[in-house]
Structure 1
Amino acid sequence: MPASTDPVLDRVVDGRYRVESELARGGMATVYRARDLRLDRPVALKVMREDLARDDAFVRRFVHEARVAARLQHPHIVSVYDQGEDDGVVFLAMELVEGHTLRDVIAGRAPLSAREALQLIIPVTEALATAHSAGLVHRDVKPENVLISRRGGAVKVTDFGLARLDGNPNVTTEMLWGTAAYLAPEQVETGSADPRTDVYAVALLLFELVTGRKAFPGEDPLRVAYEHVHGGVPHARDLVPTVPAPLEDLVLRAGATEPDDRPVDAAALLSELRHLESTLTPSELDALPAAADHTVPVHVDGGADRTQVVHRPSRGDDGSRTRRIPVTRPGSPAHADGPPAGDARYARTSGNRVPVRRERERSGSGAAWVLGLLLVLLAAGGGYGFWYLTQGPAVHSLMPTVVGLTEEQARAALDAEELDPVVVRDYSEDVPPDVVLDAAYEPGTRLRHGTDVELVVSQGPERYAVPPLEGLTVDEARAALEEVNLALGATTEEHSESVPEGRIISSSPGVGEQLPPRTEVAVTVSSGPAPVDVPDVRGRPQPEAVSLLEEAGLRVAIDPEQVFSDDVPAGAVVSQDPGPSTVARDTEVRLTISKGPELVTVPEVVGRQFSSAEQELTDLGLVVVREDIAGGFFSTVREQSVEPGTQVPRNTTVVLRVV
């Protein structure tokens, strides 16, 4: 759809997300680049297709999976921020990962060395291990759902839980969501999935990374699905001889047809992958196939990751789209002689292990006899028997009252009615933990046996622990609080001798306290050390002056050039910079030390005329006093009060006796 006709573009969804541009379009939803106006950050906004958004059952499961996925916190999982509905637009706000997909890596660089392949597949497995530990199975692991960030090359798995969503009620339940090239045999055969289903898909990804081609290539998704059930994962070394034998063995075990033959979950597979990485030699890890050994990667069109419904084979499909595939239920006819056509269903044959269903197939005549007898009885019983076995109590139950029961009690009540509880946990200020808040169906609703019934179980009041904020900047503290659904409150400043200026000293409430969502946390920020008074140390001996300044929290520097001072004794402070004032702690104060008064040498002036002697002594800075003897008629200096050669300070008085 052109951008100009897309009603979502340029719209502010939920009063928060301004939609900027389209990133990708699939069969279930369209992904847009948007800006979160509240937090001022870019996000990926997945908007459900309009016709699916009108399906309450579809939306209910979408919301359920979004809640579960939002609780997955892992560096290799794309974070889910928010989910909601705005005027018919059902959306999911997620972390925006700008970069490329694993499909781009395979198309551009595969086959890879074992080292490169493991470096890509281990983060994927770590993400799935986190999901499995939370009780969530991805169900649609494929290269298009593995994103590689442009910045730092971080590997992230996306679209958790979306592959489990049910389709429209008018589509037969004998269908499943999946991507044909990566469907596990049990998904094709029965529609079931558990952690081993994701393990199977990881094995196919690893196979594709080291060989450069899909394990089950093909244009017809039904034929590809058939191969998953009736065939087995090829031997990678047959295609690329440089693939280490232990790696090939792990791919074959993880990609086994029977789930019981695979690692039990992603955590078990992760352990084996890490062991493999640590035990392979450098030459095995870094070996690349010769040019002649390179396989030709399977072409993938631009719509490879679209989700759509598949009713029968179609041309031009490479099997990597997420689709609905017909599912074989117990009792469906097998097609051991070749892939079925149209809406035919599959029964598993040997795959990667010894056949286990031959005896059941050979006993088909007995089953036919029982079926024939049952038909006779049904005919004899009339319409009531038919109704009882197909639409009546034999296959339906009434929804029991479960709200207010404990989770254990609610599970028991549903089990008694042959209904399957699906537990979602939510916060409640009023309902105690482990008590059912809500249920997907009203009491008395008539439900088919085996129906999933979502139970919302209280996990008590929604509370978040105050994170450690000491030492952070205000911006860092705001981000840390928003990360745990709290908010930054009032900011006050306080002097601190130990915390640098601009860093947080403390928070209120304190670290670890449990608070309701969006509660404001006040912080005290350091404005640096408190100012100090500079004491006046002029005229004080140097040691005393230094001690006073250091006690005040100041640093002292001594000017290497001492100066003469007629007023300040030698060794005492003549001047200081800065002088008496208020300054920041640890400010430097420079002191100038006195050499004492400047000394001059008294000359010999006896026998000289008074005027000449007076002039010389005055020029030296001395004070001359005349005393006449017998009238001083001759004006000749007869005596001087200070002996010649004596050093005296300036302004010293010298008495001259004149005759």
Structure 2
Amino acid sequence: MIGKILGNRYKILEKISGGGMALVYKAQCNLLNRIVAIKILKSEFAEDEDFVRRFRREAQAAASLSHPNIVGIYDVGEEDGLYYIVMEYVEGNTLKDLIRQKAPLPLTEVIEMGVQICDALECAHKNMIVHRDIKSQNIMITSDGRVKVTDFGIARATGGSTITNTGNMFGSVQYFSPEQARSDTVDERSDLYSVGVVLYEAFTGKLPFNGETPVSVALKQIQEQPELISNIISGFPKQLEVIVQKCLAKSPDDRYQNAEALKNDLKQALLSAEVVSFKPDNIEHTLVMDNIANNPTSFEINSAASKKKRPKNVLKGIGIIAFFVLLFAVFSYLGAALARRYLEVPETIVPNVIGMQEEEAIQKLKEHNLDYNIAGRVFDTAPAGQVIDQDPKGDQRVKTNRPPIDLIISKGSKAGTVPSIIGRTEQEGIALLENNGFEPGRIIREYSNEI
């Protein structure tokens, strides 16, 4: 790929990064003599006509966004089966990289980034574009501290009516809103939930929810509450805790209703003396020093006590030692017996039940002496009652007394009310339809004397 010229103008210079759906290259635009970034779809997506069609349309819609905090999209093209987006080249690090290197980040630094992320989303939402994949990997930070939100086109291109496809999760489930995890219709408040996850991660250095599989993480997004940041970082400002918790509310109605409202609260937090002066490292240091200060003579006390100790009766000491040796032997024997009992539990191979109807899948698991748990039912393009994911996956060897096999069952396609798009522009109409879970059909253009 290095040295290849796309569209008779973009010369590929080097590979920058690669993700789940695309590879990113640094390139030279020979026409305008500038450096650009080119995102090229991976072959498995390029062969999906429906995906490519959505990808091109949404990339073109995202290209209409012009904002200093959004990575600009310059061009969209196809050549020799390669579908690509030409974007603004940004020198800097992703927020994810900064978190890995420096977490937890200073509060004021995170707040200032949050304000800029809100500015970017406010612009997108006003243009009827929901990002749907806000995460720290999609947020670039330049050397002068400017935030650049990227991947609008690809995020919307994958934003269909489901989050599952033959048992695989689309998107970054650690940042999913509960409605995304349920395959419900999403709007701008879903993006604000994801911003809350990003803030939580930047403040603490950890994600609010993790799990062994995408399904288990998605269920936590729906059902569980994240650990309070104040439990992770002692003395964390209450004002910021409230902001993050409001972003992470399970119901969209309980969250910030738009990016501007969240931005205003973040700006207000920057004026708080508690927030500005907060330093976690200093607090930890103070706690240690306080402990030493409160116990200034502990060494002297212990030293004095040790001087007062006298040799104990030898026979009494031997008796105590013998007792503990016997106790250790008894517990070792019981532990070994229990271990043998566990190890003798029969093993079986977990059957792959994805694609089966619920009753058939349950029967199949019972034939392998495995219990089951219906972990969730979500809207999906698969027929109602069909298993669309399982945890653990099929073909794994497990013991028959293991916890139940989690199953995700399809509720079928979700019915919805078709929104009115009369009077909207073509771009706004398409965005409104897709945000409500509908696929635009054939577009017929006619002359009108009224519009």
Same fold judged by TM-score > 0.5? yes
> 2 CA distance for matches of 1:58 and 1:104?
29
1:123 pairs with one of 102, 116, 119:
116
Deviation, 1:155, is 1.1
What is residue 424 of structure 1 aligned with on the other side? 427
> 1 CA distance for matches of 2:160 and 2:109?
41
Contact 1:125 1:270 in 2 (8 A): yes
What is residue 81 of structure 1 aligned with on the other side? 74
Greater Rg by CA: 1
Is 1:135 matched up with 2:128? yes
| Greater relative contact order (CA < 8 Å, ≥ 6 in sequence) | 2
Deviation, 1:176, is 5.8
Is 1:196 matched up with 2:189? yes
Contact 2:160 2:437 in 1 (8 A): no
Deviation, 1:344, is 2.6
> What is the correspondence of 1:38-57 to structure 2 with a 5 Å cutoff?
38-57=31-50
Match of 2:378, as an amino acid? T
3-state SS of paired residue (2:196): helix
Structure 2 length normalisation: TM-score?
Answer: 0.65
> What is the correspondence of 1:168-179 to structure 2 with a 5 Å cutoff?
172=165, 177-179=170-172
> 2 CA distance for matches of 1:172 and 1:211?
33
What is residue 387 of structure 1 aligned with on the other side? none
CA offset digits 1:591-645 (Å, max 9, x no partner): xxxxxxxxxxxxxxxxxxxxxxxxxxxxxxxxxxxxxxxxxxxxxxxxxxxxxxx
> 2 CA distance for matches of 1:188 and 1:196?
14
Match of 2:276, as an amino acid? L
Contact 1:242 1:288 in 2 (8 A): no
Match of 1:105, as an amino acid? L
Deviation, 1:183, is 0.8
What is residue 284 of structure 1 aligned with on the other side? 275
CA offset digits 1:121-158 (Å, max 9, x no partner): 111111111111111111111111000113x2221000
> What is the correspondence of 1:408-419 to structure 2 with a 5 Å cutoff?
408=422
Deviation, 1:112, is 2.4
1:97 pairs with one of 90, 95, 100:
90
Is 1:28 matched up with 2:15? no
CA offset digits 1:517-564 (Å, max 9, x no partner): xxxxxxxxxxxxxxxxxxxxxxxxxxxxxxxxxxxxxxxxxxxxxxxx
CA offset digits 1:408-462 (Å, max 9, x no partner): 28x9xxxxxxxxxx9427xxxxxxxx9x9xxx9xxxxxxxx964115769899xx
> 2 CA distance for matches of 1:25 and 1:407?
37
What is residue 408 of structure 2 aligned with on the other side? 345
Contact 2:213 2:391 in 1 (8 A): no
Contact 2:114 2:263 in 1 (8 A): no
1:242 pairs with one of 235, 255, 280:
235
What is residue 439 of structure 2 aligned with on the other side? 452
CA offset digits 1:50-78 (Å, max 9, x no partner): 23212221111001111111011111100
CA 174–292 in structure 1, closer or farther in 2 if over 3 Å, else same: same
CA 87–167 in structure 1, closer or farther in 2 if over 3 Å, else same: farther
Q: Report how many aligned residue pairs link the two structures.
A: 329
Give 1 or 2: higher helix fraction.
Answer: 2
2:379 pairs with one of 305, 326, 329:
329
Give 1 or 2: higher strand fraction.
Answer: 1
Deviation, 1:245, is 0.1
Contact 1:174 1:327 in 2 (8 A): no
Contact 1:236 1:243 in 2 (8 A): yes
> 2 CA distance for matches of 1:194 and 1:423?
19
CA 268–168 in structure 1, closer or farther in 2 if over 3 Å, else same: closer
CA 275–450 in structure 1, closer or farther in 2 if over 3 Å, else same: closer
Deviation, 1:210, is 1.4
> What is the correspondence of 1:112-511 to structure 2 with a 5 Å cutoff?
112-150=105-143, 152-166=144-158, 172=165, 177-278=170-271, 280-281=272-273, 283-290=274-281, 328-329=378-379, 341-342=392-393, 344-345=407-408, 408=422, 423-424=426-427, 451-453=438-440
3-state SS of paired residue (2:192): helix
| Identity across the alignment (%) | 33
Deviation, 1:96, is 0.5
Contact 2:169 2:214 in 1 (8 A): no
Structure 1 length normalisation: TM-score?
Answer: 0.45
CA 172–203 in structure 1, closer or farther in 2 if over 3 Å, else same: closer
Is 1:70 matched up with 2:57? no
Contact 2:132 2:159 in 1 (8 A): no
What is residue 371 of structure 2 aligned with on the other side? none
Match of 2:379, as an amino acid? R
Deviation, 1:79, is 0.3
Contact 2:204 2:229 in 1 (8 A): yes
Match of 1:190, as an amino acid? S
Contact 1:122 1:273 in 2 (8 A): yes
Contact 1:64 1:424 in 2 (8 A): no
Deviation, 1:265, is 2.1
Unaligned runs of 5+ in 1: 1-7, 295-310, 313-325, 334-338, 348-389, 396-405, 412-421, 426-433, 441-448, 461-659
> 2 CA distance for matches of 1:78 and 1:423?
23
What is residue 341 of structure 2 aligned with on the other side? none
